[in-house]
Structure 1
Amino acid sequence: MVKRDEIVEFINNYLEIQKFKDSGTNGLQVPGKEEVEKVVFGVSASLELFQQAVKKGADMIIVHHGLFWEGSRWRISYLLKGRLKFLFDNNLSLLGYHLPLDAHPEIGNNTQIAKRLGIKITGKFGEYQGEAIGWEGIFQTPKRFSGLVKEIKEIFGFKPWYLKSGKDILKTVAVVSGGGAGIIPEVIDKKIDVYITGETREFIPQAAKEGGINYISAGHYNTEKFGIQALGELLKEKFKIKVEFIDIPNPL
């Protein structure tokens, strides 16, 4: 077993959470048992995840999308009440790490995506509140657009939404996991061949066409699975504790 607060302190320092001006609360959100033997990991906090964690014998849950966000921090809704009650009743700790887990250069969501797609990172990309969240780079081997779409479907287990408005043979690429649609002006300004993110929005089709760039939305949930899994492996190695990722599929 390991002390709860030792795990919290390690992750907070490792992810450098103090650097980020985030819309979500990073770190310990709900304190549970002081001693931890098993940690369950998931993308988003939900009652279903919490229930499965209890069945798996977890003492702590760590997620990318936690319970507390701007605009709701001082209001407990019926939804939040039910989730908190379950955590309290089962003495479960909940930790959440949002932007720091997207941006981390080793285990972050965007680094993990780049590794899986054979992207050589050349620089930071997608600044938000003073910190870059994603990466830009080049494919180590140029890819055809159709081949990249197929590869993304296989890696993410999700059929992506895409718009082909640029080159067929791709060399330059930018990656921002999750809700990165609003960063498209930077993609266009830098004349990047293809942009991979987690979501699309109403204005994207015309912006991509006018900018002459290719756009791929691989799903908010699915682009943010890899970082939390990598964090689990890191904690398993460092603290010699049991870890398990629980996948609760989300089509968005």
Structure 2
Amino acid sequence: MTAECNSIFIEEIVEFLNYFFVVERFAASERGGVYLPSLRPVRRLGLALEPGLQLQKWANSQNLDALFLHRPWKLETEQIPPEIGVISYHLPFDECLTMGFNPRLAQVLNMSNLEVLGEKQNRAIGMIGEIPTQSFTHLCSCVTQVFGGQEQVHPPIDNDVTRIAVVGAMTDALVHEAAARDIDVYITGQLRQPALAAMRESKMGAIAIGHRRSEVWGLRTLAGVLRERWFSLEVVTFR
């Protein structure tokens, strides 16, 4: 088999990610894909959240052929080596690989019997699932191990936790819906002030991991997905 047949090109990666993220669910302007085209074969792919001075130094040192950016809008072409292709997915990445209906995260948290919690434009905002009975302290420890930390914690009335919600937003309506569906702990990116009154009224606990931590978890997961798809692709993640 020729080297050309084994080569990976940016369009192939985008085709795969379009399928992985199910981009047809999103408006055309939000689907993502190729941000800066390149004809260069991709042997080393870098993953990062956004442009910046540190990313520029990192990209120059990593001998990259292409770059994945979650938020590419402030990227200037002189910030990356020449002929580097750039891929970008924003909303599809957030909804598939951070807080929301995220089956890969559900596996990590030992969630089963998944159900949808909340919808926006016919897409799930969050998920509900059962977990092995454990204390709130144990769940907090697990979440910290998964995401590398947490920002805020609101203990539940009852210490035993069997049902949790992982949600990409926190509103009064979502909190009330979770409480009505017997959720013990509500896990999200940030505890939103308008919804805290509803949280206090319920018996639920809450864990806010921080939006950036959820994105970093998504990048690490995406790196694994890409390595599973292409044996020869070297994937490096900027932290």
> What is the TM-score with the length of structure 2 in the denominator?
0.82
Q: Does 1:224 align with 2:215?
A: yes
Any idea what the Cα deviations from partners look like across 1:145-166, whole Å, max 9, x if unmatched?
Answer: 1221122222222133011244
CA drift at 1:103: 4.2
Determine if the alignment matches structure 1 residue 176 to structure 2 residue 167.
yes
Q: Distance in 2 between matches of 1:205 and 1:15?
A: 32
Aligned-residue CA RMSD (Å):
2.4
Flag the structure with larger Rg: 2
Whether the 8 Å contact between 1:162 and 1:217 is mirrored in structure 2 is yes
1:134 match: 126
Residue 207 of structure 1: aligned partner: 198
CA distance in 1, matches of 2:29, 2:203: 31
Gaps of 5+ in 2: 1-6
1:124 counterpart = 2:124 = no
Corresponding residue number in structure 1 for 2:25: 19
Q: Is the 8 A contact 1:39 1:61 kept in 2?
A: yes
Question: Is 1:59 equivalent to 2:65 in the alignment?
Answer: yes
TM value normalised by structure 1: 0.78
Q: Percent identity?
A: 25
Partner in structure 2 of residue 234 of structure 1: 225
Structure 1: gaps spanning 5 or more residues? 69-79, 248-252
Following superposition, which runs of at least 4 residues in structure 1 exceed 4 angstroms of deviation? Answer: 21-25
Check conservation: 1:112, 1:226, Cα contact below 8 A.
no
Q: Is the 8 A contact 1:22 1:98 kept in 2?
A: no
With over 3 angstroms needed to count, the CA separation of the structure-2 counterparts of 1:132 and 1:143, relative to structure 1, is: same
1:203, 1:143 → 2: CA distance? 29
Q: Matched residues in 2 for 1:62 and 1:181: separation?
A: 28
Cα distance in 1, alignment partners of residues 91 and 181 from structure 2: 23
Aligned to 2:50: 45
Following TM superposition, by how much is the alpha carbon of 1:142 offset from its aligned partner in structure 2, in angstroms? 0.8
Inter-CA distance 189–86: structure 2 relative to 1 (3 Å threshold): farther
Task: Report the CA distance between 1:19 and its aligned residue.
Answer: 0.7
* Shift, 1:86, TM fit: 2.8
**Aligned-pair CA distance for 1:54:** 2.6
Deviations 1:23-61 (A, max 9, x none): 85522222245321110112x212233431231111212
Aligned residue type for 1:31: P
Query: Which one-letter code corresponds to 2:138 in the other structure?
Result: G
Of 113, 135, 141, 1:150 maps to 141
Aligned equivalent of 2:85, options 85, 93, 101: 93
Provide the C-alpha distance between the structure 1 equivalents of 2:51 and 2:76, rounded to a whole number of angstroms: 10
Distance in 1 between residues matched to 2:40 and 2:156, nearest whole Å: 53
The 3-state SS of whatever aligns with 2:211 is: coil
Which residue of structure 2 aligns with residue 35 of structure 1?
A: 41
